[in-house]
Structure 1
Amino acid sequence: MLRWAVPAFLVVQAGVLGLAWWAGSGLLLALAELAALTGFACLVLLAQYLLLRGRYTREREATRRAVERRRVADEVHDLVGHELSLIAMQAGLLELRADAADAKLAGQLRAQAEHAVASLHETVALLHGTAPDEPVTDDVEDLVARARQAGARVTLHGDVDRVAVPTRLAVHTVVREGLTNAARHAPGSPVAVVLSTSAGTHGDVVEARVATSDAPAPTAGAGRAGHGLDALRRRVTALGGHLDARHHDGTHVLTARILAQPSGDPLRSAEPVELAGARPLRALVRQTAVPVVVACAVVLGFWTWASHDTTAEPEVLARFAVGLPTAELDALVPQRQAPVRLARSPEPPPGSTCRAWTDGNFPLAAATVEVCADDHAVTRVTDLAGEPLW
C-alpha cells in the first residue's frame, strides 16, 4: 500500500494546486493542503498498521508452533527416554548373568539402547524442550515396580492420596525423571522414593523425594540431565510448587514440593506463548507517539506565535469602518500584524498605510482583515477571505 501512497499524494497535490490556481483563494489552498496532508498521514498509518498486524500474526503462529514442538519433544523424552533407560539396564544385567555368547548379544543390545538414548537426548536438546503435559497411564507404585523388574534397587515410602490430578501428574513425572536419571547415571545404585503430605500456609503440600545413593557428581557435559530438570522445574513452578536438585556426599536428591490442590492448569504447557513484538495497535502507537507529539507541539507553537498580539476579537472587528479616527483605531488594534497572509490585497489608497490582523484561525492564524488609514481616519477595510491569492 505504501508504494501507491506517494504517487497518490502527488496526484492529490496537483489537484489541490490546480484548484487553488483556478479559484485564486489562499484560504482554499490552505484548507485543501491540510486535508491532503491529513489524508496522506492516515494512509501511511493504515499501511503501517496492516504491516505490523501481519508481522504480529506470523510471529504468534511461529511461536505457537515452536511451543508445541518443544512440548512434544519433552513428551518423547519423558516417555520414550524412560523406557529406553530401562531396556539398557535390563540388557546390562543380562550381560552380567548370561554365558559368553548371550553376554555378547546382551552387550550389543545395551550399547544400542544407550546409543538410542543419546540420540533421543540430542534430538530433544535440538528442539529445546518445555514442560510436558502428557497423561499418566500408571501410578507411582507401578512405576517403581517396573523399575524393580528392570533390575533397579528402588524402595518406596508413603503415597499421595486425596490430591488433585495436576499434583498426581507432576509427582509421577518427578519420580519418573529421578528413576530415569538414576538408571542412566548410576545404574544399580540404591534409590529411595519418599512421598509425604504436610500442612502448608496455602493448604496441604505434597513432597516427592527421589534420593540416589552412590551417584556421580554432575558434570558440565551432562547437559541433557540439566535440560530435563529445567523442563520439570517449569512444570512444577506452573503449579505453584518448587523443585530442588542437589548432590551431597555421593547422594543425588531430587525434591519437589507441590500444593495438593494447586491453582495451575495441568493440561497446558508451563511455558506461555510469548511474542517478540507488541500487539500491532500498541506498536503503532509507540512508533508514532513521538512524531505526533512533535508535530502537535510545532503546530501549537507556530499558532501561538502567529496569533499572539495579532488577534482582533469579533467585537473589535465589527468596529472597523471607513471614517473611524486613526487614533481610535490605534487604541483598538493589537500591537503586531498577522505574519501569515493567504490573499493579495489591493493597492493602498493614496497617502494611506495598510495593516492586517487575524481572527485567530487555527492552525496558521492567517490574516483575515486589512485596514488602511491615513493620518486622520480609516480609508479602507478589506475582508481578505474574499481576495484572490495572486
Structure 2
Amino acid sequence: MREAARERAFDVLLWLLLCVPVLLTSDPDDGGSWTQVAVGVALLALCVALGRRRPVPALALTVVVSLTHGTELFTPSYVLALVAFGYLAGRREERTRPALWLFGAVPVAGLVLVLVTGGTPAHWFALLLSLALAVVAPWLIGRYVRQYDRLVRSGWELADRMEREHAAVADRERLRERSRIAGDMHDSLGHDLALLALRAGALELDPALGPEQQRAAGELRRAAADATARLRDIIGVLREGDDEAPVAPPDETVAELVARARASGMAVTLADAAEPPSEMAARALHRVVQEGLTNAAKHAPGAPVAVVVERDPGVVRVRVTNGPGGPGPGAGPGREPGHGSARGDAAPVTTASSGLAPSGLASSGLASGGAGLVGLDERVRLAGGSLRHRTTAEGGFALSAVLPLRPPAPRPAAPRSARELDLARRQVRRGLARAIWIPLALLAALGLLMAGVALYTQHQTYLEPEDYARIRVGQTRAEVAGYLPDRHLDGRPQRVPVEPPGMDECLYYRATMLAAIPVYRLCYVDGRLAGKAELG
C-alpha cells in the first residue's frame, strides 16, 4: 500500500510540474486560450496515467501534441514533457523495439508535415535535432539507469542467495567428508581384508595344524569375507555418486605395498623402472596397484601377479596382470569368491578344490559391484590419466593406467553467482556505451544529412559562368529562363550592394558552389532583363 501511495504521489507531482509550462505559454493574455490550456492539461494527465504501464505510447502522445504546436517539435509548452516521458520510457520499458519504431516514425511523419505545411528543410532539420536531444538522449539515460538498477538488484539478490546457501555449506561438507572416508575405507580396508582372508586360507590348508586350528582358520577366513561384504554395503550407503574420488595420500610406496602382499602369500613380482611422479600421480599409481592386487587376491586365488611400472616421455605407465585363478578353498560353489591359499609366507599352495574358472575372471573387477574400478577410474582421471582393464588371452585379468608426470592444474569454474554478476555488469556497460554513441551517431548522421541537403540546395541555385555569359540585357524573361537554374537565392545575400533604383525585381544566383559570394544579380523591368552584374 505504501508503494502504491508513493507512486500516486509521484505521478501527481509530475503532472503538476509538466502543467506549469502549458499554463505559462498558453495563457490567454499571451496569445493563447483557456481551451488550449484545458486540452494540454488533460492530455498530460492521460500521458502520466499511461506512463506506468504504457510508457512508449505516453511518449508518442506527447510527441503528437508537440507536433501540432510546431513542426520543429521543440515547443516551450511541451519540451519538458518530451524530456520527462522520454526518460521514463527508457527507465520503465523492458523492450527497446517499440521506442526504436517511434524514433523512426517521427522523422517520417515530420517530413510529411513539413511538406504539407509548406515548410523548408531547415524545419525538418530542427525536428531531427529536437528529437535527438529532447527525446532520444533522455531515453538512453533512462535505459542506462534501468541497467544500473538491475545490476544493483542482481548484486543484492546474489548476496541474499549466498547467505541462504551458507547455512547448507557445513552440511554439504560433512556429507562430502563422509564420502571421502567411505572411499578410503573401500580402498585401504578392503585391500587389507582381502590379504587377511588370503593368509587365513593358507592357515586353513596348512597340514601342520590340527583339525581344530584349521577349522578356526576357516572361520577366520569366512569372517573376513563377511566383513568385506558388510564393508561393501556400508560404502554403498555412505558414498555419494556425484562426489569426486578420494585423494588421500597413500601410506606406503608401491614397493612396500607389493612387499606386504608378497608377505601375505601372493606370488607378486615388481618391475619398477620409473622415477617418482608428481604427488597426484603417485596417489593414483598407488591405488592402481592396490586395486589390482586386491582383485587378484579376491577373484584369482593362487594366480601369479606381475606389477610393471615404467616411464615414457612425460608419462608413467603401470600394469598389474594376474593369471587365471588357481584352486583354493574360497572358490567353490556357495562360498565367497576371492580367497586364495598360501603356506605361510611361501608360494601359494594348490589343493584339489575347484578355483575360480577363467570365464569368471572376465568380471573380476566387477564382482564387488564395480565400485572399486569406478572410483579408481575417477581418481586416475583427476590425475590427468586414463585407466583400462581387460581379460587376457590366458583367462587372467590386466589392469593398466597411463599417468602424466606433471598433471595440469585444474581450472576452477567460476561460481554461478559470479557469472550472473559479471553478466549484469556487461549489460550495464553496454547500456552506458549505447547512451554515449547513439546520440553521437544521430548527431553525426544529422550533420551529414544537413550537409548533403545544403550542397543540393546550393547546386539548385548555381548559375554556370558560361550560361551567365550568354545572357544579354534586353532579353525577355522567357529567353533568359533557358539559361537559369531551377531555383534562385532567397533574397539579397549579406555584403551585397542594394538593387539599383527603378527595377521591378532582382534575382540572385550563386557564382560558386562552396561560398555565399560572389553572386550573379539579374534585374528585370517590364518583363525584360534590364541589368546583370557579378557582385562580391
TM above 0.5, one fold?
A: yes
Residues 254, 273 of structure 1: CA spacing in aligned structure 2 closer, same or farther, 3 A cutoff?
farther
Alignment of 1:192 onto 2:244 = no
Residues 82, 181 of structure 1: CA spacing in aligned structure 2 closer, same or farther, 3 A cutoff?
farther
Give unmatched runs, 5+ long, in structure 1. 316-326, 331-390
- 2:183 counterpart residue number: 77
Alignment of 1:27 onto 2:79 = yes
- 1:146 counterpart residue number: 260
- 1:323 counterpart residue number: none
- 2:287 counterpart residue number: 173
Cα distance in 1 for residues equivalent to 2:198 and 2:284 = 30
Greater strand share, structure number: 1
What amino acid is the match of 1:156? L
Alignment of 1:208 onto 2:326 = no
- What is the DSSP-based 3-state SS (H/G/I as helix, E as strand, rest coil) of the residue aligned with 1:182? helix
Alignment of 1:43 onto 2:157 = no
Summarize the alignment of residues 257-272 of structure 1 with structure 2, pairs less than 5 Å apart.
257-260=402-405, 262-265=406-409, 272=412
Summarize the alignment of residues 1-390 of structure 1 with structure 2, pairs less than 5 Å apart.
11-24=9-22, 25-36=77-88, 37=91, 38=142, 39-40=145-146, 42-52=148-158, 55=161, 73-74=179-180, 76-78=182-184, 80-91=186-197, 93-94=199-200, 96-97=204-205, 98-124=213-239, 126-161=240-275, 163-198=277-312, 200=313, 203=314, 205-214=315-324, 216-218=361-363, 222-237=369-384, 241-249=385-393, 250-260=395-405, 262-265=406-409, 272-273=412-413, 275=415, 279-284=419-424
Give unmatched runs, 5+ long, in structure 2. 23-76, 92-141, 206-212, 326-360, 455-487, 492-536
Q: Deviations over 1:24-71 (max 9, x none)?
A: 342112223344422455434431343356557878998999699657
Q: Any conservation in 2 of the 1:154–1:192 contact (CA below 8 Å)?
A: yes
Cα distance in 1 for residues equivalent to 2:236 and 2:383 = 21
What amino acid is the match of 1:253? A
Cα distance in 2 for residues equivalent to 1:90 and 1:35 = 81
Residues 312, 128 of structure 1: CA spacing in aligned structure 2 closer, same or farther, 3 A cutoff?
closer
How far off is 1:289 after superposition? 10
Task: Tell me the TM-score normalized by structure 2.
Answer: 0.44
Cα distance in 1 for residues equivalent to 2:154 and 2:306 = 61
Cα distance in 1 for residues equivalent to 2:304 and 2:186 = 23
How far off is 1:279 after superposition? 0.6
What amino acid is the match of 1:224? A
Cα distance in 2 for residues equivalent to 1:121 and 1:41 = 50
- What is the DSSP-based 3-state SS (H/G/I as helix, E as strand, rest coil) of the residue aligned with 2:321? strand
Cα distance in 2 for residues equivalent to 1:65 and 1:276 = 20
Residues 68, 123 of structure 1: CA spacing in aligned structure 2 closer, same or farther, 3 A cutoff?
closer
What amino acid is the match of 2:18? A
- 1:375 counterpart residue number: none
Task: Tell me the TM-score normalized by structure 1.
Answer: 0.58
- What is the DSSP-based 3-state SS (H/G/I as helix, E as strand, rest coil) of the residue aligned with 1:209? strand
Cα distance in 1 for residues equivalent to 2:366 and 2:400 = 21
Cα distance in 2 for residues equivalent to 1:289 and 1:5 = 30
Q: Deviations over 1:215-237 (max 9, x none)?
A: 72138884413421331231331
What amino acid is the match of 1:29? A
Residues 28, 64 of structure 1: CA spacing in aligned structure 2 closer, same or farther, 3 A cutoff?
farther
Residues 223, 258 of structure 1: CA spacing in aligned structure 2 closer, same or farther, 3 A cutoff?
closer
How far off is 1:328 after superposition? 7.3
What amino acid is the match of 2:322? T
Residues 172, 102 of structure 1: CA spacing in aligned structure 2 closer, same or farther, 3 A cutoff?
closer
- What is the DSSP-based 3-state SS (H/G/I as helix, E as strand, rest coil) of the residue aligned with 1:246? strand
Q: Any conservation in 1 of the 2:288–2:376 contact (CA below 8 Å)?
A: no
Residues 272, 44 of structure 1: CA spacing in aligned structure 2 closer, same or farther, 3 A cutoff?
closer
Q: Any conservation in 2 of the 1:90–1:151 contact (CA below 8 Å)?
A: no
Residues 62, 177 of structure 1: CA spacing in aligned structure 2 closer, same or farther, 3 A cutoff?
farther
What amino acid is the match of 1:179? L
- What is the DSSP-based 3-state SS (H/G/I as helix, E as strand, rest coil) of the residue aligned with 1:177? helix
Greater helix share, structure number: 2
How far off is 1:139 after superposition? 0.9
How far off is 1:111 after superposition? 0.7
How far off is 1:197 after superposition? 2.3
Residues 86, 41 of structure 1: CA spacing in aligned structure 2 closer, same or farther, 3 A cutoff?
closer
Residues 101, 170 of structure 1: CA spacing in aligned structure 2 closer, same or farther, 3 A cutoff?
closer
- What is the DSSP-based 3-state SS (H/G/I as helix, E as strand, rest coil) of the residue aligned with 2:247? coil
Query: Comparing 36-45 with 64-73, which one deviates more in the overlay?
Result: 64-73
Structure with larger Rg: 2
- 1:318 counterpart residue number: none
How far off is 1:143 after superposition? 0.8
Q: Any conservation in 1 of the 2:245–2:376 contact (CA below 8 Å)?
A: no
What amino acid is the match of 1:116? L
Cα distance in 2 for residues equivalent to 1:274 and 1:214 = 49
- What is the DSSP-based 3-state SS (H/G/I as helix, E as strand, rest coil) of the residue aligned with 1:175? helix
Cα distance in 1 for residues equivalent to 2:227 and 2:16 = 84
What amino acid is the match of 1:248? T
Q: What's the C-alpha RMSD, in Å, of the aligned pairs?
A: 4.8
- What is the DSSP-based 3-state SS (H/G/I as helix, E as strand, rest coil) of the residue aligned with 1:157? strand
Residues 177, 56 of structure 1: CA spacing in aligned structure 2 closer, same or farther, 3 A cutoff?
farther
How far off is 1:193 after superposition? 0.7
